[in-house]
Amino acid sequence: MTTSIPAPTKRELAEASMRRSWFPVARLCDLDTPQTATLLGVSLVIYRDGEGRISVQSRRCPHRGGDLSMGEVHRSSIGCPYHGWEFSSADGSCSRIPSLADQGKIPPRASIATYPAVERFGHVWTVLEDPIRDMYEIEEWQGLDLEWLAADPIDSSVGVGVTIENFRDVAHFPFVHKVSMGPTPEVVEPLIVNRDGLDVWMDRPLDAGSGDWANDGDCMMRYRCSAPGLASITYHYEKLGRRVVAGFPSPIDYEHVKIFWGVANEVGYRGADLEECLRVEEMVYLEDIPIVEFIEPREIPWDSEFQEFSVPADLFTLNYRRSFTELMNRVKDGSHVNEFV
């Protein structure tokens, strides 16, 4: 007699795909001291050691549970604040136990988990399990010399999917962003949305209107998202050059994210400086949060547990869901995604 194994739910596949996807866990500008993060329930410490290496490791000391983020960073290790046990910044192995007269007697299995660490877009990125896709590369940023400014992260009590969908949705502008954007049309023009695997994008003109961008003139915007967790707008002004705003929600758990985000200006950009661009974009973000945090359910209802209706203005959202579904299917099939290399 054989026992059949139930097929995974889409939610389970979504969670599995996120454990194999890259997410930011700290800002590069904060690494003068060890930083903490929780990624899908895993407690992490992020630090730069004395040799300049950035490490992303388990935060719990395996001796008696001390919090390594409170410890001392050494040349090539981090020390526990409780009993001083040191763990290699390269591989997490225990390199020194102060109370031992003979360091040759270090328990061979005493170590902490060490995860990949990639510096990108002003942040440190990591992945918890064997990555199902490579680190994000954005086509329209290739060849651009971008200067990044990482913003203060924003806590939001919804999941990665809902956060990305809000960032890409254009039909909520006249209702949520009346202050930052000024009057904008309620009727959404027919959207031309493109999708290639995990990558979704569309081009849309920006009417400068009467909001904070009025003095910058008209421009073309490329809206992009890439499953599961990157969304960006690249503004191409004829008279100013290019600037970027990008959001990278990082899942603390399935229904709770820490939104890392930032702005970037092309070197030589002739518009507002980075601090001013960040100020304006932050106003937009902070208008979204009080609305989004009451969305029900708090993450995309992958298993149709809630009924939803869509209209043509939701075309980008629907394509994002298709890209995320493709990622889930590739996790199920065990294939690796290499879209941008």
Extents of the domains making up the chain: 21-126, 139-333
Cis (ω within 30 of 0) for the bond into 297? yes
Query: Would you say domain 139-333 falls under CATH 3.40.50.1360?
Result: no
Mean pLDDT of all residues in the chain? 93
Cα–Cα distance, 42 to 214 (Å, whole number): 44
Q: Return the pLDDT at 181.
A: 81
- In eight-state DSSP terms, residue 60 is B
Instruction: Look at residue 120 in the predicted model and tell me its pLDDT.
Output: 97
pLDDT at 22: 98
Q: Which fold has domain 21-126?
A: Rieske Iron-sulfur Protein (2.102.10)
Band the pLDDT of 214: cuts 50, 70, 90: low
- pLDDT at residue 337 is higher than 60: no
Strand order in the sheet with 54-58: 35-39, 42-48, 54-58, 114-115
d(Cα 230, Cα 278) in Å, to the nearest integer? 18
What confidence score (pLDDT) does residue 341 get?
Answer: 31
How would you label 76-115 residue by residue, b for 16+ Cβ within 10 Å and e otherwise?
A: ebbbbeeebbbbbbeebbbbebeeeeeeeebeeebbbebb
Report whether pLDDT(155) > 80.
yes
The pLDDT tens digits of the residues spanning 223-275 come to 999 999 999 999 999 889 999 999 999 999 999 999 999 999 999 999 999 99
pLDDT band at 7 (very low <50, low <70, confident <90, very high): confident
DSSP state of 233: E
Site of tokens 């702005």: 263
According to the model, what pLDDT value does residue 339 have? 45
Which single residue is written with the structure tokens 């992260």? 153
**Amino acid type, 306:** F
**Mean of the pLDDT values across residues 29-58?**
98
From 132, 317, 148, select the one nearest 225 (Cα to Cα). Answer: 317
pLDDT of residue 239: 87
**pLDDT score at 340:** 39
What confidence score (pLDDT) does residue 206 get?
Answer: 80
> In sequence order, what are the beta bridge partners of 67?
60
Q: What is the average per-residue pLDDT within 66-80?
A: 98
pTM for this entry? 0.93
